[in-house]
Structure 1
Amino acid sequence: MTYAGSFASPWKRGLIRIIENLTGRLRLLWLVRKWEVDPDRDPNFWKSVLDRLDIKLTTPQDQLDSIPKTGPLVVVSNHPHGLVDGIVMAHLLSHARDDYKILARAFLRHVPRIDKYLLPVAFPHELDAIQTNIRMRKEAIAHLKNDGCIALFPAGTVATSDTWFGPVVDPDWLPFTAKMIRQSGAQVLPVFFPGANSRAYQIADKLSVTLRQALLLHEIKAAMHKDQKVVVGELIDPEALQSYEKDGPGLMKFLKQKTYDLKPV
């Protein structure tokens, strides 16, 4: 359990492991060991992980019921936390269907029970990032054309503040999502995650990519014992997006605004 492996530099990998061990990794490893031997854990993998982290999904049932159970669907969301967002998203979608795939960093890859639900996204600094992400995009579009569900965080990175002590928001959403929607004719479902990572993470982001990545496990630990009241928005039909047929950036700006409009007042 480490984010160090995505860096080629030995000293960066070593620094990340040291910081991870000091800020949360050892506690998380202990929880993983307890989860592995727990005979009473929930049969739903995602629910069992959230139970171990003491994180409860408190989205109202009527919102969960509004998630389409069949047909091509693209679920878009802001990305305030990191790995926890992906786990909560998977648990949320598992209430409605079993053909969902989450576009996420390859942190949980090679766990047999959940591998079919993940499409790996490489960090930009990884040596094979271009090849990995091209393969991911092809698989995602093919899955949608087979009437599947794709969920992703179009920012492509965890939300940060523009200044050291400013508000935390996603950067501009990347246009690949627009291409998926256009080519598949999928419906779009905006989902909003409340919250943000710690101020220490925001400051680390301004100092170094290495430091920021070294604190991702700490942010998982910081998310423990907190409810996740994710907001599921209204479904957007392809016809409502026709005016953006040739305007990918405009479509992403529209979907980002639709998502942030779900933020509770």
Structure 2
Amino acid sequence: MKDKLISYDDIRKIHPIFRGKHGDNFINLIMKVSGLNYVNEIYDRSKHLTGPAFCKDVLDKLEIIRIWQNIEVLDRYKDKPFITVSNHAYGHIDGIAAIELVGSRVNDYKMMVNFVLGMIDTMSENFIVVNPFKSEKNRDVTLNGIKECIDHIRQGHHLGFFPAGAISDFARKGYKITIADRKWQPSVVKLIKKARVPVIPMHFSGGNSPRFYALRLLGWQVRTLGLCHELNNKKGKKMVITIGDPIMPGEISKYKDIEELGEFLKSRTYALGNVK
């Protein structure tokens, strides 16, 4: 495992200013202000473990209370390929909690994640990494990730998606402003339809702080760094993870329009937030 999750060398690659005469001083400031030092501490405490065991240890030490509902569904389907779809409420602990929950019940569960979670090498056995920020440089990474997802399912394994491809954010619901996923991405929904396996919705309660959502005004790079502080404020908080009944391939195949299918899967997932 890595000595540090985010090292000085990693920061130096970002911009020439961090490689200059006062580079280390700037890095010290960035590590402190961004909360990266705290993230490194969390990683260091649990890096002797990997996979679901690492996830459990991290969440236990963060003192995050996990309440699981209807998890017997996973046990019924553990010997059959399936896909999980989830809302992306947090941007870090939801992915960690998903792997703890599902990965501890099946041996081959992988989640398609972005490069932020993908940096955690102790979870690499459960990751298929893609980069959601489009550029020619990232195109091959994304295409290879999608190909790996297709191969994983075709081999009879289990796969997980956050179909929004981004953290939940401000959304309008009638006259109310709420926090919810953006439209689920057509590329992921197409892949789900093509897989022709049961789809198990999984809902995460809760979310990040108002401060985090306000950081959108400063750009995604700044808000991504804000995720570090969002780990610190979760101590002692409760997160309810609700598993829904499987949506079978026959029901999915009825949807010819990909956007309609995406809305259907998303609504089935969010409906679990009302389950008591």
Shared fold per TM-score greater than 0.5 = yes
Is 1:30 paired with 2:41? yes
Q: 1:88 aligns with which of 80, 97, 112?
A: 97
CA distance in 2, matches of 1:108, 1:133: 15
Three-state SS of the structure 1 residue aligned to 2:68 is coil
Q: 1:263 aligns with which of 251, 267, 273?
A: 273
Shift of residue 211 of structure 1? Answer: 1.8
Shift of residue 17 of structure 1? Answer: 7.8
Change (3 A) 1:170 1:16: farther
Is 1:238 paired with 2:227? no
Shift of residue 22 of structure 1? Answer: 2.2
CA distance in 2, matches of 1:49, 1:185: 34
What is the aligned partner in structure 2 of residue 215 from structure 1?
A: 226
Change (3 A) 1:111 1:210: closer
Amino acid at match of 1:88: A
8 A Cα contact 2:51 2:125, kept in partner: no
Amino acid at match of 1:220: L
Shift of residue 125 of structure 1? Answer: 5.8
What is the aligned partner in structure 1 of residue 192 from structure 2?
A: 181
RMSD over equivalenced CA pairs, Å: 3.2
CA distance in 1, matches of 2:265, 2:18: 36
Three-state SS of the structure 2 residue aligned to 1:124 is coil
The farther-off stretch of 182-191 and 15-24 is 15-24
The farther-off stretch of 112-121 and 123-132 is 123-132
Amino acid at match of 1:257: S
CA displacement, residues 110-137 of structure 1 (integer Å, 9 cap, x when unaligned): 7665322100121406763211111000
5+ residue gaps in structure 1? none
- Larger RCO (CA under 8 A, 6+ residues apart): 1
What is the aligned partner in structure 2 of residue 102 from structure 1?
A: 111
Change (3 A) 1:109 1:155: closer
What is the aligned partner in structure 2 of residue 128 from structure 1?
A: 137
8 A Cα contact 1:78 1:154, kept in partner: yes
Is 1:50 paired with 2:59? yes
CA distance in 1, matches of 2:72, 2:210: 35
Three-state SS of the structure 2 residue aligned to 1:59 is strand
5+ residue gaps in structure 2? none
Amino acid at match of 2:152: H
The farther-off stretch of 28-37 and 11-20 is 11-20
Identity, in percent, stands at 27
Is 1:248 paired with 2:255? no
Is 1:64 paired with 2:75? no
What is the aligned partner in structure 2 of residue 142 from structure 1?
A: 151
What is the aligned partner in structure 1 of residue 127 from structure 2?
A: 118
Decide which structure has the larger Cα Rg and report it: 2
8 A Cα contact 2:200 2:243, kept in partner: yes
